[in-house]
Structure 1
Amino acid sequence: KWNKRHMFDDSYDASLFLGTLDTVFMVSYSVGLFISGALGDRFDLRKVLAIGMWLSAIMTFLFGTLSGWLKIYNYYWYVAFWLLGGLAQSSGWPCVLAIIGNWFGKSSRGLVTGLWGASPSIGNIIGAYTVASVLHFGYEYAFLVPALLMFAWGIVVYFSVIPSPRDVGLPDVAEDEALSGDREPLLRPDHPGFTESADSDEIPLLLRPDAISFCHALFIPGVIPYSLAYACLKLVNYSFFFWLPYYLQSKYGWKEAVADRLSVWYDVGGIIGGVLIGLASDKLGVRSPLMGIMLLLSPLSLFIYKGRNIYV
């Protein structure tokens, strides 16, 4: 029963539809990552990121707010705009990661990425409390307020974010590291993606890569194994993100507010762990061993969580 309308035959039908929405969103998001990454390589990262935020806000508004105002309760409406929302939101990860890579060198990248990696968890916490504060006005406002916030911050991004030091007359971090011998180039000079820099008179040793194809990207060392490892990590992460509150309600009969409060601690752990592991990787000078240790500890924590009888 949704807003005095029976959209589903029973609770199982409703759960199946929610699972369908999650699947549609993640499939479109994953496809969109390739598209957004290619766009970020070829166009201004600031513009791609800002436009992605504006489109995300519009899709959120159409999905949850306009449908409520116009009394549109249609499966295809929700699926279509959730799919488009996944495509729009996919612009965030590759564009912001590229901007961070432009500004921060290898020696501090672990801590910086760890701090930036806390932003989704912080956003989850802020979003949960924002929605809770306006939900009593109607579920439409649970979509309207976040959409307005996202659109407003898209404007801030468009007028304030500087994608690269080169845009303000500063040398790129990659250039400094390459010239000082602290870093080997990601692609070697004989790679088909390399072209010599137009500024070769000023920086004769600099080799700047053009945008490369998907097939060329696959041959960069570490891309495939790290991608597979990250896919497995995201499988667990999004299972918790999408389904933990629902699982606690249906399995243990917890109240919705209590389940939401507990799920927030998963994000808190992500914030603390990301910062600490990022800092440790900078200090130790290695990243893969730390990643492996944390991934091995993750199943252990899940088994402990599963094996306990949790009651309120």
Structure 2
Amino acid sequence: MAWPDNFQRGTLMSRFSHHHVVVFLLTFLSYSLFHASRKTFSNVKVSISKQWTPTAFNKSAELPVEIWNSSHLFPSAEGATLFLGTLDTIFLFSYAVGLFISGIIADRLNLRYVLSFGMCSSALVVFVFGTVTEWLHFYNKWFYCFLWTINGLLQSTGWPCVVAVMGNWFGKAGRGVIFGLWSACASVGNILGAVLASSVLQFGYEYAFLVTASVQFAGGVVIFFGLLVSPEEIGLPGVEAEKPCEEDTHRPLMNGAENEDEYEPNYSIQDRGAAVPQVKAISFGQACCLPGVVPYSLAYACLKLVNYSFFFWLPFYLSKNFKWKEAEADQLSIWYDVGGIIGGTLQGFISDLLQKRAPVLALSLLLATGSLVGYSRSPDNKSINALLMAVTGFFIGGPSNMISSAISADLGRQELVRGSSEALATVTGIVDGTGSIGAAAGQYLVSLIQDKLGWMWVFYFFILMTSCTIVFILPLVVREIRQLVQRRQTPTASD
């Protein structure tokens, strides 16, 4: 296989200034903090369940009887577990709805303002949800549902904004490896949330929410004063003005056209009649009609269900299934995210070499089904469990990171929307929003399946959803493999 010019000549890194590095780090930090606050909730589920359930453990709490009785939200641990799953579902449904809205808003307002507002306001809601209610001993199911709905809407501002900013600064050249490495921000946030939560959990779960909310609020302030949303803000050329390194640089890697010969590089959704076209955000309907958006959105709905189920339920599963301490389960769950970081970066690099994304995704997902079978049969051994967990994260978290970052940027920057720099957030919102709808439905199903059938059937459910992901991208896989074969058989035009 020919080594791409960008990697051969070292031109990829030479095109980046210190501004690119700062943008990379700030957007990475921003979404890491979003995920850290989300991870806190999953890491303290056992403690919350004990607080809400009248068990012998709870009766030892040093609280007046009347206050203690008021915290009895559920008669059993099963009821508390089901409500925790309901909260996950509420969060993800509101998050999904918010993504469709936030993507449109972010393409029409300053990305920095939207992102910093989302970070600071979400931090305040998390603080009220986990800390204020516990300090005041105020326990109310409807209030928790209301707060988590608002939190989902506010958190939805994060991903469309950071992907759009990254897409403004980093072009197609090397996007797979750059975005693969950058998309580790979610996994790093999970690790950060797990470490922060486990470090203060001994003092009470309310302090886990306090710490992560405080850090996230501070991060929002840093974003407001420090983030540059595009190179044009400081007089640098945008990615669309860069000279392509090879003749098909602007072709989308997913290539939604049925025939490459039918591809019209001069067509644009934007009106190209004027000499200086007015930059304008595309509509929601136009974004949905872009090649590749619908199949990848449906595929991500299935894959994000599995990925977020590990995100929300893995510490709870380890604590309940193996009877490990909650803090130990929190720390062990980090290995799933480590696998996702490595998987997203390596698979992004390979897709850059192939200049195709779908075949890499399909192979990883095929191997993911096997890793799910292996992890479901993990013995009661922390080392073996961590290894199998990392492998599972590699094959599930890696493709999930690719779809939500590099592929979303490819879809929002393809030739059909050339001339509209305000398409990235809308497309990203559609892909991630559809994924979050699937993830939202999955969280309630996970708690229901676990309660009725047990954890083994939960893993069977994960295998089914992973297989559905492959089915949705299968036409793209077949097309891109055919193109790779044709490209390999076509002689170079040097003679």
1:34 aligns with 2:100: yes
Cα deviations by residue, 1:92-147 (Å, 9 ceiling, x for unpaired): 11110011111111112111211221011111111111112222333222111111
1:131 aligns with 2:197: yes
The Cα shift of 1:297 comes to 1.3
CA 1:65 to 1:308, structure 2 compared with 1: closer, same or farther past 3 Å? closer
How far apart in 2 are the matches of 1:60 and 1:163? Answer: 27
Aligned to 1:194, the other structure's residue is in SS state coil
Unmatched 5+ residue regions in structure 1?
A: 201-206
State the one-letter code of the partner of 1:294. S
How far apart in 2 are the matches of 1:109 and 1:40? Answer: 22
How far apart in 2 are the matches of 1:81 and 1:283? Answer: 45
Write the mapping of 1:156-305 to structure 2, written as runs, cut at 5 A.
Answer: 156-177=222-243, 182-184=249-251, 193-196=269-272, 200=276, 210-305=280-375
Unmatched 5+ residue regions in structure 2?
A: 1-49, 52-60, 62-67, 256-263, 383-495
CA 1:9 to 1:104, structure 2 compared with 1: closer, same or farther past 3 Å? same
Contact 2:198 2:327 in 1 (8 A): no
The Cα shift of 1:72 comes to 1.2
How far apart in 2 are the matches of 1:208 and 1:262? Answer: 52
State the one-letter code of the partner of 1:143. F
The Cα shift of 1:198 comes to 8.0
CA 1:208 to 1:234, structure 2 compared with 1: closer, same or farther past 3 Å? farther
CA 1:10 to 1:168, structure 2 compared with 1: closer, same or farther past 3 Å? same
Cα deviations by residue, 1:48-101 (Å, 9 ceiling, x for unpaired): 111110111111011111112222111111111111111111111111001111
Range moving further from structure 2, 21-30 or 182-191: 182-191
CA 1:118 to 1:179, structure 2 compared with 1: closer, same or farther past 3 Å? closer
Matching residue of 1:204:
none
CA 1:236 to 1:177, structure 2 compared with 1: closer, same or farther past 3 Å? farther
Matching residue of 1:152:
218
1:82 aligns with 2:158: no
Matching residue of 2:112:
46
State the one-letter code of the partner of 2:270. F
How far apart in 2 are the matches of 1:155 and 1:188? Answer: 42
State the one-letter code of the partner of 2:119. M
State the one-letter code of the partner of 1:195. D
How far apart in 1 are the matches of 2:110 and 2:355? Answer: 32
Identity %, equivalent residues: 52
How far apart in 1 are the matches of 2:146 and 2:212? Answer: 19
How far apart in 2 are the matches of 1:110 and 1:22? Answer: 30
Contact 1:195 1:210 in 2 (8 A): no
1:141 aligns with 2:207: yes
Please point out which of 104, 129, 142 is paired with 1:63.
129
The Cα shift of 1:196 comes to 4.3
Cα deviations by residue, 1:217-262 (Å, 9 ceiling, x for unpaired): 1110000111111111101101111111212222232322332232
Specify which structure has the bigger relative contact order, considering alpha-carbon pairs within 8 angstroms and separated by 6 or more residues: 2
The Cα shift of 1:283 comes to 2.4
How far apart in 2 are the matches of 1:136 and 1:308? Answer: 28
How far apart in 2 are the matches of 1:41 and 1:188? Answer: 24
CA 1:43 to 1:224, structure 2 compared with 1: closer, same or farther past 3 Å? same
Contact 1:197 1:208 in 2 (8 A): no
The Cα shift of 1:188 comes to 7.1
CA 1:180 to 1:267, structure 2 compared with 1: closer, same or farther past 3 Å? closer
The Cα shift of 1:177 comes to 4.7
Range moving further from structure 2, 118-127 or 168-177: 168-177
Contact 1:45 1:163 in 2 (8 A): yes
Matching residue of 2:173:
107
CA 1:213 to 1:178, structure 2 compared with 1: closer, same or farther past 3 Å? farther
Aligned to 1:8, the other structure's residue is in SS state coil
Cα deviations by residue, 1:126-174 (Å, 9 ceiling, x for unpaired): 1111112222333222111111111111011111111111111111112
CA 1:195 to 1:159, structure 2 compared with 1: closer, same or farther past 3 Å? farther
Contact 1:178 1:184 in 2 (8 A): no
CA 1:155 to 1:197, structure 2 compared with 1: closer, same or farther past 3 Å? farther
Matching residue of 1:203:
none
How far apart in 1 are the matches of 2:95 and 2:197? Answer: 23
How far apart in 1 are the matches of 2:274 and 2:240? Answer: 16
Contact 1:63 1:81 in 2 (8 A): yes
Contact 2:73 2:139 in 1 (8 A): yes
Aligned to 1:42, the other structure's residue is in SS state coil
- TM-score for both structures, normalised by structure 1: 0.90
Aligned to 2:271, the other structure's residue is in SS state strand
The Cα shift of 1:271 comes to 0.7
RMSD: 2.3
How far apart in 1 are the matches of 2:235 and 2:275? Answer: 13
State the one-letter code of the partner of 2:129. F
How far apart in 2 are the matches of 1:24 and 1:42? Answer: 27
